[in-house]
Amino acid sequence: MNAPSVGIDLIEIERIRQAMQNDRFAERLFSAEERAFFAKRKNPYPGLAANFAAKEAFSKALGTGIRHFSLNEISVLRDEWGAPYFVFTGNAAKCAAGKRFSVSLTHTDTLAQAIVLAVLEE
The residues carrying an active-site annotation are 60, 107
Phi, psi of 32 (to 5 degrees): -60, -40
SS3 annotation, 6-20: EEEEEEEHHHHHHHC
Q: Does residue 101 contact residue 117 with C-beta atoms inside 8 Å?
A: yes
Q: Does residue 107 contact residue 44 with C-beta atoms inside 8 Å?
A: no
Beta-bridged to residue 76, according to DSSP, are 86
Reduced to 3 states, what is the DSSP secondary structure of residue 83?
coil
Alpha-carbon gap, residue 79 to 1, rounded angstroms = 30
